[in-house]
Amino acid sequence: MCGIVGYIGKNQALPFLLDGLKRLEYRGYDSSGICLKNNSGFYLAKKPGRISELESQIDQILAKGNIGIAHTRWATHGAPNEINSHPHVDCKGSIAIVHNGIIENYNSLKELLKGEGHIFVSDTDSEVVAHLVEKFYEGDLEVAVKKSLKLIEGAYALAVLDKTSEKIVVTRKSSPLVLGIGVGEIFVASDVPAMLSKTKRVIYLDDNEVAVLTKDGYAVKNINGFVVDKEIYEVAMDVEQIEKKGFKYFMLKEIFEQPEAIENTLRGRIKDGKIRLSVNFNPREINRIIITACGTSWYSGLIGKYLIEKLSGISVEVDYASEFRYRNPIVRQDDLIIVISQSGETADTLAALEEAKKKGAKTLGIINVVGSTIAREVDSGIYLHAGPEIGVASTKAFTCQVTALTLFALYLKQERGDLPSDVILEIENIPQKIKEILKKSEEIRELAKIFKDAKNFLYLGRNLNFPVALEGALKLKEISYIHAEGYPAAEMKHGPIALVDKHMPVVFICPQDAVYSKIISNMQEIKAREGNVIAVINKEDPKIRDLANYVIKVPETIDELSPIINVVPLQLLAYHIADLKGLNVDKPRNLAKSVTVE
Ligand code: F6R
């Protein structure tokens, strides 16, 4: 959701800025722009639509300079048009800014600045920053930015240039920003993949820090002007990891990466039949767990509830982060709050975490992106090590989150004196079993051909596979734009069954588990209304073959691990339907990979 890229150094800025923007495309955007600084002033270009459209409008002769900032915008205030695109400039066109986040008090600031004679051209909240810096500018850009920050409320990552000095000033609050340290050059971006082809040495800025970047290096200070000694991290990911490796879409690549990603989540965490996690709280002192997250991560949290309650006996609540943060939740000191986030930057999840910390609870993060804001804010964490997830629709992060939650549930069971468990033995077989399902990708594509023009879908599951039904429906709707709903199978009688007729595909997730006979009855109810049944099964059963119009068979596993297996064919079904419809699977409309606004 919005992306910032910046460059200062010995080389031309433009190639890096364009490449960096493209590598941030996964965050979601609807316009883009650049500003280069050279001896004759600023070169500015902005364009709604794809980055390729910006690129084709750039004048290669004029677009020169060793200093530059660039931006992909995901519209919040004002339509996605050229005027609202970043960079924004002040009245004199001598200060340029790019902004990610939301300036909450922009209305009052705009009125104040207009009263002082500033002329605004866009509908954005971001433009106030350019005018504020102009208001305070007396020859020192850093001082002007700092004075502006004192007036700004909200969330921001900012990169600011002026026409006269050879520097970029950057800062952040509740929005990510990373510096890349090169030789004779400094990079800045919203996320590491933007700079990975140039450097692996990075610095994660923290809230309220201001960094001044020059050709000779960088200086990071806190808001009071004291120099902060920042640690330089060596990033482990490679450029190849963020490329498509021959797959048509990142999403398909990421579905196929799941066996390896899950192995990485498990690596080093099971030894001699014991779970090894490092947390800095005493599991015996936890009385209740609250899991909070958004979207797909919330669904993995729901599976986590079933697993933790079943394996450890601790009661678990699952709350949408956006609700948790505003409902003054009852949080006790002996509660553990688990936040789950692939990106580690989701604004609502971060705010829920802050609320939990304020109330004195212990916190645990289940996060994929190393060094992300949430990862740095939690008391303890379990990194997924799933590798970068670029496709907007989450796939491998989901299965790795469920894997991490299973490990954590087992860990609680162990620390409360109650191991072994057959789950430990079976979990290491899961990657191989997913490989078996991936071999069915073409078979699932054939099924997708039959259903690609459906207008609606129902997904039904019970118990641990009810959240899988929710996730299957979400995957389909977000990338294929087909309306889909997930339900607990028995709940279907209480309303949604009214929708069922011969045009309604109904996907049943029905492994032979403790509730198998119940779900068969639910299937009969759908069949009686001529619904088109697609059943995901793990054992042959003539009864199912009679009832279902189509069957996808997955390998058998134990009940606790069946969600990780069962979601894979649903990811493939959604992927193939969207691809057959000719849609851009990796960048569905209106969606952003990292939702850094509430
Ligand atoms: C759906 C999807 C979203 C995210 C949600 C939370 O495929 O990706 O629903 O799960 O926006 O994002 P994270 O996990 O980064 O906090």
In tens digits, the chain (598 residues) has pLDDT values of 689 999 999 999 999 999 999 998 877 688 999 999 998 899 999 999 989 999 999 999 999 999 999 999 987 788 889 999 999 999 999 999 999 988 989 999 999 999 999 999 999 999 999 999 999 999 999 999 999 999 999 889 999 999 999 999 999 998 889 999 999 999 999 999 899 999 999 999 999 999 999 999 999 999 888 999 999 999 887 777 777 877 999 999 999 999 999 998 998 899 888 999 989 999 999 999 999 999 999 999 999 999 999 999 999 999 999 999 888 999 999 999 999 999 999 999 999 999 999 999 999 999 998 778 899 999 999 999 888 898 999 999 999 999 999 999 999 999 988 777 899 999 999 999 999 999 999 999 999 999 999 999 999 999 999 999 999 999 999 999 999 999 999 998 899 889 999 999 999 999 999 899 999 999 999 999 999 999 999 999 999 999 999 999 999 999 999 999 999 999 999 999 999 999 999 989 888 887 877 7
Q: How confident is the model over 424-433, as pLDDT tens digits?
A: 999 999 999 9
* pLDDT the model gives residue 598: 75
- Which is the closest atom of ligand 1 to the Cα of 594? 15
Does residue 294 carry a catalytic annotation? no
Does the annotation mark 593 as catalytic?
A: yes
| Residue 592 confidence (pLDDT) | 80
Quick one: which of 497, 495, 469, 467 has its CA closest to 484?
Answer: 469
Tell me what pLDDT residue 566 has: 98
- Cβ–ligand 1 distance for 297 under 6 Å, the answer yes
- Please work out whether the CB of residue 349 comes within 6 Å of at least one atom of ligand 1: yes
Q: How far is the CA of 592 from the centre of ligand 1 (A)?
A: 9
Q: Is the CB of 375 under 6 A from ligand 1?
A: no
Q: What is the pLDDT of residue 1?
A: 64
Nearest residue (CA) to ligand 1, atom 5: 295
The pLDDT of residue 381 is 94
State which ligand 1 atom lies nearest to the alpha carbon of 298.
10
Q: Is the CB of 296 under 6 A from ligand 1?
A: yes
What pLDDT does 439 receive? 97
Q: Which of 291, 342, 390 to mutate to test the pocket of ligand 1 (most atoms within 8 A of CB)?
A: 342
Q: What angle do CA 435, 312, 462 make, to 5 degrees?
A: 55
Listed by start position, the domains of the chain span 3-240, 244-428, 437-586
Instruction: Verify whether ligand 1 is closer than 6 Å to residue 512 (CB atom).
Output: no
Closest CA to 68 of 233, 188, 230: 188
Pairing, β 483-488 against β 456-461: parallel
Distance 298 CA to ligand 1 centre (A): 8
Rounded CA separation 152/149 (Å) = 5
Q: State which of 175, 399, 594, 595 you would mutate to test the pocket of ligand 1, scoring each by most atoms of that ligand within 8 A of its C-beta.
A: 595
Residue range 244-428 forms a domain whose CATH class is alpha beta
CB of 343 shorter than 6 A to ligand 1? yes
Instruction: Show the CA angle centred on residue 241, arms to residues 159 and 472, nearest 5°.
Output: 95
Can you give the pLDDT at residue 174? 82
Domain 437-586 fold: Rossmann fold (3.40.50)
Q: Name the H helices within 389-492.
A: 396-415, 422-427, 430-438, 441-451, 466-480
Q: Which CATH class is domain 3-240?
A: alpha beta
Ligand 1 touching residue 346 (CB < 6 A): yes
Rounded to the nearest angstrom, the distance between the alpha carbon of 234 and the centre of ligand 1 is: 26
User: Ligand 1 centroid vs 595 CA: distance in angstroms?
Assistant: 8
Please state whether the peptide bond connecting residue 87 to the residue before it is cis, i.e. omega within 30 degrees of 0: yes
Whether the domain at 244-428 and the domain at 437-586 fall into the same CATH topology:
yes
Beta strands in 93-173 (DSSP E): 95-103, 154-162, 168-173
CA 523 to ligand 1 centroid distance, Å: 30
Question: In this predicted model, what pLDDT tens digit does every residue of 180-199 receive, in sequence order?
Answer: 999 999 999 999 989 999 99
Is any ligand 1 atom within 6 A of the Cβ of residue 292? no
Q: Which atom of ligand 1 is nearest to the CA of 293?
A: 16
Phi then psi for residue 410, to 5 deg, are: -65, -40
379 contacts: CB under 8 Å, gap ≥ 6 = 280, 281, 362, 363, 364
Atom of ligand 1 nearest to the CA of 374: 16
User: What residue owns the CA closest to ligand 1's atom 16?
Assistant: 341
| Ligand 1 within 6 A of CB of 373 | no
